[in-house]
């Protein structure tokens, strides 16, 4: 029994070391204490951008707030309870406020981020800076 715990602890330490060796994850989520539920999020990369999709069924666009603060993308919202006066026999859906935070890379052009809500899925497109924007020539002056 003790050996099992030791192996489990070693596996956890090994995973932490592997994460540290890889450096900071572009979209490493940060836990938040004021969330009632947390929508599922998928993130993928295309040659020109990163795309984040969040499952937010039943959430109106007016209930979603997306902002960038410093190098953090913050996604907040609320799924409101609409079942007043009804007698439920089973209720598995989560309701209430949510918040997700994701660290952003310097390669993202935060001024060009777009958001679209369609059929309960929020899609954020985070364009990368173009190669021309990332390369900057610096003139050397003489005195």
Residue 72 lies in a domain: yes
Q: pLDDT truncated to tens, each residue of the chain (143 aa)?
A: 555 555 566 666 666 555 554 444 544 444 444 557 899 999 999 999 999 999 999 999 999 999 999 889 999 999 988 777 788 788 788 888 999 999 998 889 999 999 999 999 999 999 998 766 656 677 788 77
∠ CA 132-101-92, rounded to 5°:
135
Residue 85, helix vs strand vs coil: coil
Residue 9 lies in a domain: no
Kindly report the CATH number assigned to the domain that includes residue 40.
2.60.40.790
Residue 74, exposed/middle/buried by CB under 10 A (0-12, 13-18, 19+)? middle
Residue 122 lies in a domain: yes
Q: Report the distance separating Cα 99 and Cα 3, nearest Å.
A: 39
Residue 42 half-sphere exposure, CB side, CA atoms within 13 Å? 8
As beta bridge partners, residue 77 has: 64, 98
Residue 28 lies in a domain: yes
Tally of residues, the chain: 143
pTM for the full predicted model: 0.67
Name the domain count of the chain. 1
Q: Whose CA is closest to 126, among 136, 113, 137?
A: 113
Q: Report the distance separating Cα 97 and Cα 79, nearest Å.
A: 6
Residue 115 lies in a domain: yes
Residue 1 lies in a domain: no
Give the domain extent around 124: 22-82+95-130
As beta bridge partners, residue 75 has: 66, 100
Residue 10 lies in a domain: no
């Amino acid at each position: 029994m003790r050996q099992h715990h030791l192996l489990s602890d070693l596996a956890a330490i090994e995973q932490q070391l592997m994460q540290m060796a890889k450096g900071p994850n572009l979209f490493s989520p940060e836990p938040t204490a004021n969330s009632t539920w947390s929508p599922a999020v998928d993130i993928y990369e295309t040659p020109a951008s990163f795309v984040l999709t969040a499952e937010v069924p039943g959430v109106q666009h007016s209930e979603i707030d997306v902002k960038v603060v410093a190098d953090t993308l913050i996604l907040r919202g609320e799924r409101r309870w609409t079942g007043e006066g009804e007698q439920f026999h089973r209720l598995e859906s989560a309701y209430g406020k949510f918040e997700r935070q994701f660290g952003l890379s310097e390669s993202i052009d935060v001024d060009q981020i777009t958001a679209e809500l369609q059929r309960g899925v929020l899609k954020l497109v985070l364009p990368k800076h173009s190669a021309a924007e990332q390369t900057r020539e610096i003139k050397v002056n003489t005195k």
